Amino acid sequence: MPVRDPVTANTDAATPVVSAFYDRFPYPGDPLQDGAPPGYNWRWCVDSARAFVAGTLPARPAEGPRPWRILDAGCGTGVSTDYLAHLNSGAEILAVDISAGTLEVARERTRRSGAAAQARSLRFAQRSLLDLGGEAPFDYINSVGVLHHLREPEAGLKALADLLKPGGVLHLFLYADGGRWEIHRTQRALSLLGVGTGAEGLRLGRGLYEVLPDSNRLRRHHEQRWALDTAADANFADMYLHPQETSYNLQRLMAFVASADLHFAGFSNPEVWDPARLLQGELLERAQALPVEQQWALIEDLDPDISHFEFFLSQGELVRPDWGSDAALLAASGERNRCLWGWPGLALLDSDMAPLDLSPDGLALMQALELAPAGTPLGQLALGWESQRQAAVARTLVAQRVLLPVLA
């Protein structure tokens, strides 16, 4: 039987050079540690992400967690894979990357963290995301910082779309033009200087920021915004020396999504795209009166520091339940969002690690929910309240993303 070459079989034209680059600079350069990764990232907790996109979760099995099938498409050194395993107990996870060097680090990271013991199964494979047809379908696909390093990103997105289960969710992270203005100029300058994409390029790239005048815009921007993020050599190389990169503006991003016939299900950092972050008074009122797509375009114009897009896609639009109906909400059951810090208590950190204060009624409802048998409708929780009060408290908790509704 012929030996399969994972770097050349059904891959993008840029795969060999990108694979070699990441063998030299395994990315991301986060240090290895013993034990579970710190905190949480709710975008890698499938229950939290699915509830964010669809407004609800499917019922759980009688015993154990939901048996999600997860693909980490371009797992790098395993930072995302580690979180996916620890935040989705009982899941089946496949993590792929084209670089043998990064996969070696990923395996060691997850070995030391105990990730395999959390998942139902955890597999690593040196394969291209273009070559995974036999692995479908997946409930959740995570592909962070990958497609923009393909020569043909549209083919990569189409491949991921074909791997997604109906009703499944795809989480993507792609570079944005605006916030990479200075980065692009540094990349082009280093390319013109012929520094290469290896150790010499790293030495000369770091040296560039030492010799540019203190007042130089590129140097100031790097020192003020990116110096900490690029302290690790692999991170510096990924930002300034990468041999293949594409970035997007909103218009091209939406055309990119449409090319794979996928539904844009929302930004996974929605606070960035809220006009209230930048505006107030009459200007905010005018902004909020715009269609949501125009609000996003306004934010893109007003905030040139946005350096990436992170968002969810789905196979077709997922119809969100109307939780404005008391009867519908009280007929649903629910679960506590596991991506909260400080539970149980009134003062929490929410999914984005921002302060969140629960009302005493909110805390009481969530505690009653956790004491009740799984699947108990919210309206049947033993609180002794009128249904209107019970629905109002539950609705607030849903809006705070503390309570994740579950349909029977």
How far is residue 154's CA from residue 203's CA, in Å, rounded to a whole number?
34
Residue ranges of the chain whose pLDDT lies below 70: 1-9
How far is residue 295's CA from residue 298's CA, in Å, rounded to a whole number?
5
Q: What is the pLDDT of residue 1?
A: 39
Alpha helix positions (H), 88-241: 100-113, 115-118, 153-163, 181-192, 199-211, 217-221, 233-240
Q: What is the pLDDT of residue 292?
A: 97
Q: What is the pLDDT of residue 243?
A: 97
Judge contact between 129 and 14, C-beta under 8 A: no
Q: What is the pTM of this model?
A: 0.95
Judge contact between 161 and 141, C-beta under 8 A: no
How far is residue 59's CA from residue 224's CA, in Å, rounded to a whole number?
47
Domains of the chain by residue range: 15-177+247-314, 178-240, 326-406
Q: What is the pLDDT of residues 140-175, one digit of tens each?
A: 999 999 999 999 999 999 999 999 999 999 999 999
> Is the CATH number of domain 15-177+247-314 3.40.50.150?
yes
Q: Which two tokens stand for residue 286?
A: 């005018």
In terms of Cα–Cα distance, which of 250, 290, 403, 284 is closest to 337? 403
Q: Where are the beta strands (DSSP E) in 315-375?
A: 333-336, 347-349, 355-357
How far is residue 47's CA from residue 49's CA, in Å, rounded to a whole number?
6
How far is residue 148's CA from residue 8's CA, in Å, rounded to a whole number?
19
Judge contact between 170 and 141, C-beta under 8 A: yes
Q: What is the pLDDT of residue 9?
A: 61
